[in-house]
Amino acid sequence: MNVKQPREYVLTKGMDSFFTGLYDSAKFVLRFFKEVLRPPYEAKEIIRQCYEVGVNSLPLISLTGFITGLVFTKQSRPSLSEFGATSWLPSLVAIAIIKALAPLVTALIAAGKVGSNIGAEIGSMKVTEQIDAMEVSAINPFKFLVVSRVLATTLMIPVLTFYTGGVAMFGAYLNVHANEATSFITFFEQAFSKITFLDIFASLTKALFYGFTIGIVGCYNGYHATSGTEGVGKAANSSVVISMFLIFVEEILIVQVANAIK
């Protein structure tokens, strides 16, 4: 016979679970910073993970970046044409792509592709007790699995961000050249005339935080996966959803800080 729990009990249990998860997450992050500075360093695994995160993401990142630059430029032209300001289009596109679209689009694509892969991979190792076997074999599974993947995402997301920005700007140039016959050199001179060092630094900072978030969230969910194959699916799904939510929160905070510095 099912007994309906009082509402106060349900709320208390939910709050307990929330704060317990928050504590476990903080402890997981602190352990990462302890392990990342402690030898031995898994250099080969870090390089392999950088390849997995970076090179294997290039086709999807390239297509997404190119379409983003092309479509954004095409949609921005009518609005500027009403004021006779199409000459400002390269600068507008550069500001939008460098300051916002490139890091955000790259992070969201990586959260869906890389974050889910990390959560599913580590989650499957957890439920099949491969992580326990590594501990028995005198291998530090946290350093080998978690530290290498978090470092890889933290290092490669900024690289992919600049690549996305370049591809998006090329897509924007093709659209501008087709309509205004603007030369390649003229387009990029106009585009980067309004870009400051602070804009590039802010984008790099965003990408670093996004990369760390994607890696640590994917590893945490995979490392704490339970309930067999169902738990692996939940770990992969949670990695994507939580990563995207935190990316938007970080976007808001970093933009506020960057605007306050100016």
What pLDDT is stored for residue 173 in this prediction? Answer: 92
Question: What Cα–Cα distance (Å) separates residue 98 from each residue in 17, 27, 110, 195, 198?
Answer: 39, 34, 17, 8, 11
- Mean pLDDT across the stretch 13-41? 80
More confident residue, 2 or 95: 95
Average pLDDT for the chain: 86
Q: Give the global pTM.
A: 0.88
Which of 200, 72, 91, 220 has the alpha carbon at shortest distance from 153? Answer: 220
- Taking the C-alpha atoms of residue 85 and residue 130, their distance in angstroms, rounded to an integer, is 61
User: In which band, very low, low, confident or very high, does the pLDDT at 16 lie, cut at 50, 70 and 90?
Assistant: low
Contact predicate 244/108, CB 8 Å: yes
Q: Is the pLDDT of residue 1 over 60?
A: no
Pairwise CA distance, residues 117 & 218, whole Å: 8
Segment 118-153, tens digit of pLDDT: 999 999 888 888 888 887 877 788 888 999 999 999
Distance separating alpha carbons of residues 182 and 192, to the nearest angstrom:
15
Provide the pLDDT for residue 18.
Answer: 64
Classify residue 156 as exposed, middle or buried by CB count within 10 Å of its CB (0-12, 13-18, 19+). Answer: buried
pLDDT tens digits along 58-84: 999 999 999 999 999 998 888 878 777
Rounded CA separation 158/167 (Å)? 14
